[in-house]
Structure 1
């Protein structure tokens, strides 16, 4: 799927512009940004629920706007399914089966059983975790090639999160699905996402290829006798935390001689730490108001 120069305004407010990225079969792509940045509107625009003011979405090289039948290859799972609370599970299944020609009845039933979700009840009787699992079941059963999941793990306990991630990884591997996930749970994206796009100022400011993250950036915990950070570190690093004489420093550019230069500053001790998505998120959005 190719998303090119996508732009959308609502009530004369520009939500995003020049959004360009690809999602290949077998990839999981994360989209992160602060609340209200327009991630949900972006998903709805990609899906075709909103008409873009500029740009286009292509699936397998064909324009989604010119070939609306391709929408069957896209599925958007919203952040909640409350609109379905008054309907029985079997009724919801029938609805999606009628609207998605590739709907897999056996997969739906098998996943429902695997997650121990009752079938002869209304969705409103499910807990929040059960409802979230049910949404994933729907997404994996419709037969679409590309899935968009809007905050799929928001407010869920660790057990449900692990079940969702396991189900997604299995399907991506077995069926070569392409998945876009919007999430505030940044550390949950790290183990599963291939790329993460950070949205700021109405566009994609930075794209991270997580496999190469450690080779591009570094984070160190370091302390100095007098508690004063040398000028070299202030110029090239970003101070994340300070506890007494101990500083945690993020370096966005990991040069070959960085370790040697840090040792030349004569620290009391120095330890390299793994760089997290939260570190990067905070670095890029630190100058914005809360």
Structure 2
């Protein structure tokens, strides 16, 4: 079973928010959607889940189009954290609504998770703190038993202990191989610990689909020191410069080969060191623009 997005386009306020987005997600995967503010992460989730109508492209589950098979919507769960229409309802009232919408909704799981995290089922959502509301949306999504979960900034506002527990819940759900989870988040360090893939968006386009295991084996983050402050053209042409401090350059090479090492040696650095590579490094390498680079320098 798989969810496939093909050529998805969406304009909002006459701006191209999504531009030819294509990818496929299999059950058992946890996929991170990353990018700078305003690149279309939330729009992508809303469009896939039918809150927005796509201008172009299509979405299928096992080859069946969502647009022509509306019953397939119960395979998707996205509780929009910015939605306000449930704020006057209690947690249990929202659950009853979702029971009507999702035939496999698990009331016992919902009740147990509320109790575990000390959320009152008879309390109105408008009285929840930001962190409590974020936690509630995760519990509600998990309880739907929909195969595909979409979580938008699910860790925002949660304390460190609750975040770790929530991440454990999501890992356990994906481990059953019956669910796929897509998470849009700016919390890259914690995201990196649980995701299998990272979809990187820039200006409404999907610029990278990283398989993290493959990325870690092929990419290198190097710290280089040169005698003068000139940056060799090789670093700009084949790498992504993360930072420059005097004669010290930190650069990421996404496809580091023996031939590249030979060419790098020919630039005669006086010092070279391999550094741990993180998802944050890839974010910085691909999404830092000229203005940011000046500030970082």
Given the two structures, how large is their TM-score scaled by the length of structure 2? 0.88
Say which of 61, 72, 75 aligns to 1:73: 75
Classify 1:49/1:256 alpha carbon distance in 2 versus 1 (closer, same or farther; 3 Å). Answer: same
Aligned twin of 2:240 = 238
Classify 1:119/1:201 alpha carbon distance in 2 versus 1 (closer, same or farther; 3 Å). Answer: closer
Aligned twin of 2:197 = 195
1:209 aligns with 2:211: yes
SS for the counterpart of 1:29 is strand
CA distance in 2, matches of 1:289, 1:246: 20
Matches within 5 A, 1:267-286: 267-286=269-288
Aligned twin of 1:253 = 255
CA distance in 2, matches of 1:114, 1:175: 24
Classify 1:77/1:240 alpha carbon distance in 2 versus 1 (closer, same or farther; 3 Å). Answer: same
SS for the counterpart of 2:176 is helix
| Shift, 1:289, TM fit | 5.9
CA distance in 1, matches of 2:56, 2:20: 8
Q: Would the aligned equivalents of 1:129 and 1:160 in 2 still touch at CA under 8 Å?
A: no
Matches within 5 A, 1:144-183: 144-174=146-176, 176-183=178-185
Aligned twin of 2:124 = 122
Aligned twin of 2:110 = 108
CA distance in 1, matches of 2:162, 2:63: 36
The gaps in structure 1 that reach 5 residues or longer are none
Q: Would the aligned equivalents of 2:90 and 2:123 in 1 still touch at CA under 8 Å?
A: yes
CA distance in 2, matches of 1:63, 1:232: 46
SS for the counterpart of 1:23 is strand
SS for the counterpart of 1:189 is helix
Aligned twin of 2:18 = 16
More moved, 211-220 vs 30-39: 30-39
Q: Would the aligned equivalents of 1:81 and 1:131 in 2 still touch at CA under 8 Å?
A: no
RMSD of Structure 2 on Structure 1 (CA): 2.3
Aligned twin of 2:91 = 89
Aligned twin of 2:295 = none
CA distance in 2, matches of 1:260, 1:11: 50
CA distance in 2, matches of 1:48, 1:79: 16
SS for the counterpart of 1:250 is strand
| Shift, 1:250, TM fit | 1.6
Q: Would the aligned equivalents of 2:227 and 2:247 in 1 still touch at CA under 8 Å?
A: yes
1:35 aligns with 2:37: yes
- Number of equivalences: 290
| Shift, 1:15, TM fit | 1.5
Q: Deviations over 1:35-89 (max 9, x none)?
A: 2222222211111222211111111221111110110111112234544332222
More moved, 136-145 vs 226-235: 226-235
Classify 1:242/1:108 alpha carbon distance in 2 versus 1 (closer, same or farther; 3 Å). Answer: same
The gaps in structure 2 that reach 5 residues or longer are 293-297
Classify 1:216/1:101 alpha carbon distance in 2 versus 1 (closer, same or farther; 3 Å). Answer: same
Q: Would the aligned equivalents of 1:6 and 1:20 in 2 still touch at CA under 8 Å?
A: yes
Classify 1:134/1:175 alpha carbon distance in 2 versus 1 (closer, same or farther; 3 Å). Answer: farther
